Amino acid sequence: MADEILTIREVAELLKINEKTAYKLASAGKIPGFKVGGSWRFQRQEIANWIKRKVEEQQGGSGGA
């Protein structure tokens, strides 16, 4: 499903990080998300795009192809 919505727990599992770390990243605006009734939610496609951008940034900064 293209518009699949993820919870903080699911995003943490996807990124292989602790839930507390995912919460801190979301609160700081470092990962794309939004709040619904006080709980963080994330669009799977937005997280996938964010990961892709991060990988491209790191590869671009390394000077390699």
Domains of the chain: 5-62 (1.10.1660.10)
Q: What is the mean pLDDT of residues 18-37?
A: 98
CB 20 within 8 A of CB 53: no
* 3-class DSSP state of 28: coil
Q: What angle separates helix 8-15 from helix 44-62, to the nearest 10 degrees? A: 30
Is residue 56 scored above 60 in pLDDT? Answer: yes
**What's the pTM value of the predicted model, to 2 decimals?**
0.83
Residue 61 exposure: Cα atoms within 13 Å on the Cβ side: 6
In this prediction, residue 3 carries a pLDDT of 79
By the 10 Å C-beta count (0-12 exposed, 13-18 middle, 19+ buried), 63 is classed as exposed
